Amino acid sequence: MLTRTLRSGRLLAAAAMLLLGTGLACPTPAAAKGKWARRQARLASCPHNRTTLRIDKKVCPANRHRPAITLRRACCVSPNGHVMCKPFQGCPPRSPS
């Protein structure tokens, strides 16, 4: 009985270590996407003193070097009611990934 408990405990510990090891070994999704994803996240958010009014989207058509890409931008409202929309970034000629 004691050996069966030790065996199942070792098996459980090995499985937990395997899951933790694979989780630490793979990169996070934000780090995997790189500069393009960080730029798109920055363009789709507002500074701390402004409120997000809406998120606009623009689709760049596919070409032979990349698939269709959706660009985003944020429209922000300042405390005095002024609305400012960030610019859309230009469509990239090649795939950003």
pLDDT tens per residue across span 49-97: 999 999 999 999 999 988 999 999 999 999 999 999 999 988 888 887 6
The answer to whether position 94 is within a domain reads: no
Whether the model clears a pTM of 0.75, i.e. scores above it, the answer is no
The closest of 15, 76, 14, 19 to 50, measured between CA atoms, is: 76
Q: Are residues 29 and 49 located together in one domain of the fold?
A: no
Do residues 63 and 34 lie in contact, with contact meaning Cβ atoms separated by under 8 Å? Answer: no
Q: Are residues 20 and 53 located together in one domain of the fold?
A: no
Q: Are residues 25 and 58 located together in one domain of the fold?
A: no
The answer to whether position 97 is within a domain reads: no
Find the domain containing 78 and state its range.
40-88
The answer to whether position 55 is within a domain reads: yes
Query: Structurally, how many domains does the chain consist of?
Result: 2
User: Who contacts 26 (Cβ-Cβ below 8 Å, separation ≥6)?
Assistant: none
